[in-house]
A and B are shown apart, each in its own frame.
Chain A
Amino acid sequence: MPQPRSPRPRHASLLQPGPVARLLFPFAVLLTLAMGVASLFVGVSHVSPSLIWAEGGSGPATEVLFTSRLPRTLALALAGAGLALAGLVLQVLVRNRFVEPSTVGTTESASLGILLVMLLAPGLPLPARMAVAAAFGLAGTALFLLVLRAVPQRSALMVPLIGLLLSGVIGAVTTFIAYRTDMLQSLGAWSTGDFSVVLQGRYELLWIVAGLVLVTALFADQITVAGLGRDMAIGLGVNHRAIRALGLVLVALLSAAVIVTVGIVPFLGLVVPNVVSLLKGDNLRRTLPLVCLSGAALVMACDIVGRLVVRPYEMPIGLTMGIVGSAAFLWLLTRRRANVA
């Protein structure tokens, strides 16, 4: 058949599945490892491989490494991977590029859940607190989808707009309750994500993210097919409703795990999956490892910057990520206008 010339986007060669795309994965692995190593040895107290060697495995530097730096680095990597993955799954299932847990009400609802736990059952252990946050997050996402169905929307930008409005309303309710109950300060404590509080024994819940990544990987093909739309999914024998429900539960659990341990890290779930999609497409089976690695690397990078800029103090990651993320979001808005649907 004759091949008519097809429209090519700008920088088409970079966006084609080609040598650049093939090198992405090893590059992401190296970058993540490099960030991980840097994160272990950057900080106020001096920790370096030679110092640890000199201490022979027991001493102040080794102590800092194992009780603070290593847990912090693992927490960063897990939270970054989890949030990026949550954004990816949400974008595929909602079929919109501009959604992520903090733009569809998941994050705000989970925060409301945590506030209520603190008020009504302050003694609840962390896993139970996370379960409540996840349940609220899921309910918030479901509410968003209901509103979305009720609003006749033609533009791709309406979707995150509705989500942001809904998040705003839920956030206002949370703030109001916190104000009335004198909890504003503790609300502030987790509404800006902060990894400086992470110590050994206080982040382990985040390992649940690793399990959730595995579950998502098992269902990667079905999630991709569900992302092709209800009709295509049914045609290919995929239970669209069940996979969508599963995906939303995964998103809620991932978000909740991160929020209860380190707080809200905005934009990550938006930026990382979008960049990966531009470079590597939307076949989850292929992009999932890349999204998780890039999420981990980006969060570690932002945290390291936060540790260095105002030394010996720290900038919370929510702030660094907010700056990086909003800049990237603006860039994406100008880049992706053509192919959002």
Chain B
Amino acid sequence: MIEIDAVERRYDGVAVLSEVTLSLPKGGLTAIIGPNGAGKSTLLSVMGRLQKPDAGRVTLQGLELSRASGREVAKKLALLRQDNHTAARLTVRDLVGFGRYPHSRGNPGPEDHAQVTRALATLGLEPLADRFLDQLSGGQRQRAHIAMVLAQDTDCILLDEPLNNLDISHAVRIITLVRDAARQMGKTVVVVLHDINMAAAHCDRIVVMKGGRVLRHGTPAELMQAEFLSEVYETPITVHELAGRLVAVY
């Protein structure tokens, strides 16, 4: 599905990503975790063609991102950056509607309206649909943006810290939502997460990054090891089994 091949990315000569090679199969929820400055968001940006790698390449369903047309990629891949502070005064419905833009090119049909309605319902945004974004709280705005990404209806979804700004109830709902999208609808979802336990509890795969490199890539059970995590975060971490889950305590 997504093949990342020897990707390098430098800022002012400092390597932010070095020799990142990663292959993500179709379907499933993958979390990218790691300490600050590990290169998680940069990797997601490169995967979402917001940044060009200085070396190496990313292919999506055999389509090389740096060469494919923006519109074609937008039908296959949707992404949401962490800092989506839209200054525009759009209604929630309009914003979600723009998720259909790659498909409708400004002439929405019944299918487009159906997708928008469904995305609004999935995120519980119907009561807010006609509000302007600047009249919402941070969490509501975050949900509106996630609804936009869902309305885009792509095989692959990249989300950079989608649980920021959300309370526990909405965080659990959204991670469950993307997990279900990944497992039931066969979408390939990649999320950058800070909360290791959230990643362990809900994701199918975890990619651990540090210093611009991918350290390990595996299932939560393989990676939730006290010694390894302590090393990655340079903090004593213990891992316990609690209510059938692996929980890291720090």
Distance from A82 Cβ to chain B, minimum over Cβ atoms (Å): 23
Any A CB within 8 A of the CB of B73? yes
Q: How far is the CA of A146 from the CA of B69 in the complex (A)?
A: 27
Any A CB within 8 A of the CB of B113? no
Any B CB within 8 A of the CB of A234? yes
Any B CB within 8 A of the CB of A309? no
Distance from B14 Cβ to chain A, minimum over Cβ atoms (Å): 19
Known: A3-B127, A339-B89. A221 touches B102 (CB 8 A): no
A281 in contact with B94 (CB, 8 Å): yes
Give the contacting residue for B140; candidates A6, A222, A235; CB below 8 A: A6
B127-176 contacts to A, CB under 8 A, are 127-128, 130-132, 134-137, 139-140, 152, 169-170, 173
Q: Which residues of B contact A220 (CB under 8 A)?
A: 106
Q: Which residues of B contact A227 (CB under 8 A)?
A: 87-88
Which applies to chain A's interface (DSSP): helix, strand, loop or mixed?
A: loop
Q: How many residues of chain A are within 8 Å of chain B by beta carbon?
A: 42
A225 in contact with B101 (CB, 8 Å): yes
Q: Which residues of B contact A339 (CB under 8 A)?
A: 87, 89, 134
Q: How many residues of chain B are within 8 Å of chain A by beta carbon?
A: 46
Q: Which residues of B contact A238 (CB under 8 A)?
A: 70, 101
Q: How far is the CA of A220 from the CA of B74 in the complex (A)?
A: 19
Residue of A nearest to B97 (CB): A283
Give the contacting residue for B170; candidates A1, A231, A239, A285; CB below 8 A: A1
**The stretch of A7-15, A41-49, A192-200, A249-257 that contacts the partner chain:** A7-15
A235 in contact with B74 (CB, 8 Å): yes
A237 in contact with B70 (CB, 8 Å): yes
Q: How far is the CA of A225 from the CA of B48 in the complex (A)?
A: 17
19 contacts between A and B (CB under 8 A): A2-B169, A6-B136, A7-B137, A16-B131, A17-B91, A95-B87, A221-B101, A227-B87, A227-B88, A229-B84, A229-B86, A232-B84, A234-B49, A234-B70, A235-B48, A237-B72, A283-B91, A285-B106, A341-B85
Besides A227-B87, A231-B84, A234-B50, 12 other CB < 8 A contacts? A1-B123, A3-B128, A6-B128, A9-B134, A17-B130, A230-B50, A231-B79, A232-B84, A237-B102, A281-B89, A285-B106, A338-B134
User: Chain B interface (Cβ within 8 Å of chain A)?
Assistant: 48-50, 69-75, 78-81, 84-91, 94, 98-99, 101-102, 105-106, 123-124, 127-128, 130-132, 134-137, 139-140, 152, 169-170, 173
Q: Closest 7 interchain pairs by CB?
A: A237-B74, A1-B124, A237-B71, A341-B87, A221-B106, A237-B102, A282-B88
